Amino acid sequence: MKITKDTIPENIENILSWEIESIGVVIPENLEQNIRDFQGVLSKYRFASKIHAVMKVNTSPAILQRGKVCGCRVDVSSLGELKKALLMGYSGSEISANGPKNTWFLELCIEHDVTIILDSLSELETLISLAFSNQKIKILIRLSWFMSAEATRFWVLKEHWKTSIDMLANHRDVLEVLGYSFHIDKRDVGIRKSVFWEAFEYFKLLKQSGFSPKIINIGGGYGVKYHDDTHIKNDACQRSHLGSRLYRQDGGPVGAEFLEKFLGDVGQFGVAIGTFLEENSIELWIEPGRSLMQNSGYGATRIIAIRHDGRDTSLVLDTNSFSLGMREEELPTDPFLLGDGPGWHHEYFLLGNLCLESDIFFCRKVHLGRKAQVGDILIFPDIGAYHIDFYETSSISHPKKSRYFQSNTYLYPDNFS
């Protein structure tokens, strides 16, 4: 279900009172459809696989619960996220821990038998120091610095692969090495295939050292197709020092279609990766964070003022650019008014409610179907991935968004109990 003016529940006006500045809404049914799309691709092959719901993308309890019902694992990146996942009923065996980890995070992972994706050799050293002699800790090693992909700050460098395997071998009594992980931000099937084959050398090294790896985690980065952006004009925002932050779309495959091409197209080694995984009984893990949230979330706020400067018209909103994450990444989808008209006839800049010159939502004008008025509700569609809560702030005591989930044509509170 695409998020449009016709799919917004009627009770949103009652919820978005003047005491609530803005709300974030998730749509679990749309998440479920996205999961099914990925599962449909994976089911074409005879290898084991697991999809991860990545909590940092959206921390909604309704989203996490729907992901669990659909058989997803959950990926957590902090002690707080791990506690939330456990609170939602995920067992440790259904959780993967990613990113840099402090001692307390690692200790809770060990206590609950969470699979730990190790971020560095120093993190491996810390983990070894915390290990009990009577318990094996499940781990994946995160690899990086490939010849065909850009460097990242999360890594075990290729030049350190042998060192890492020696460390693992020296502590095989307390470590269960399940395999390895990598993540490529660039959405390019060819690059992802090259990285897969380059990384597989690590799989061979593990085998040669007496381990029995069975899992390859190819991370996320499958992309999203946002709403039709052909009407968007990249107007320069002359009153802002901010440069263009527009999320670029290149028209290539995204989401489940991207995964299908990655697994199915025959590459440089003359064999499809999906077939290769089948023949070698290797389990595939994926973390399609943004792709799982396609059309699964939106934000809503009111217009509190309209300003004219003789040249342009700006709408002042009862929220800020931190709250919707637009300071980091402008999505190419224009918002729309509740009860909007057809077409894109009225142009506005959007300003936030913080006392900051830089609190501007887009470095371009947005286009609405009718003339805006104070009190109108403005909907930001398809911001479910990252933009609902990742960058939120409570600066100058502005409240964070109230959270709801949509079921059919009604909104319900979406909170941890």
Give residue-wise pLDDT tens across range 273-282: 999 999 999 9
Asked if residue 2 is part of any domain, the answer here is no
Give me the percent of the chain exceeding a pLDDT of 90.
Answer: 62
Quick one: pLDDT at residue 237? 46
Are 414 and 61 contacting, i.e. CB atoms less than 8 angstroms apart?
yes
Mean pLDDT of 143-160: 67
Please check whether residues 337 and 404 belong to one and the same domain: yes
For the ranges 33-37, 120-124, 367-371, the maximum mean pLDDT occurs at 33-37
User: Which residue has better confidence, 81 or 387?
Assistant: 81
- Tell which of 245, 270, 292 closes a domain: 292
Report angle CA 96, 102, 284 to the nearest 5 degrees. 20
Radius of gyration of the chain (CA): 23
Query: In what helix (H) or strand (E) does residue 177 lie, and over which residues does it extend?
Result: strand 175-181
* Percent share of the chain, pLDDT over 70: 89
Distance CA 299, CA 383 (A): 7
CA torsion sign for 314, 246, 369, 386 is: negative
Number of domain units in the chain = 2
Q: Within 117-188, where are the H helices?
A: 121-130, 161-170
Per-residue tokens: 410 = 């009604």
Is residue 397 situated within a structural domain? yes
Instruction: Choose between 325 and 405: higher pLDDT.
Output: 405
Whether residue 5 lies inside any domain: the answer is: no
Please check whether residue 305 is in contact with residue 349, taking contact to mean a CB–CB distance below 8 angstroms: no
Same-domain check for residues 45 and 126 = yes
Tell me the pLDDT tens digit for each residue of 202-258: 999 999 999 999 999 999 989 888 765 544 544 444 444 444 555 666 678 999 999
Of the residues 292, 323, 343, the one at which a domain ends: 292
Domain that holds residue 351: 12-25+297-412
Predicted TM-score of the model (pTM):
0.92
Q: Are residues 146 and 254 in the same domain?
A: yes
Same domain, 141 and 197: yes
| pLDDT of res. 334 | 87
Neighbours of 121 (CB within 10 A): 16
CATH of the domain at 323: 2.40.37.10
What single letter denotes the amino acid at residue 170? N
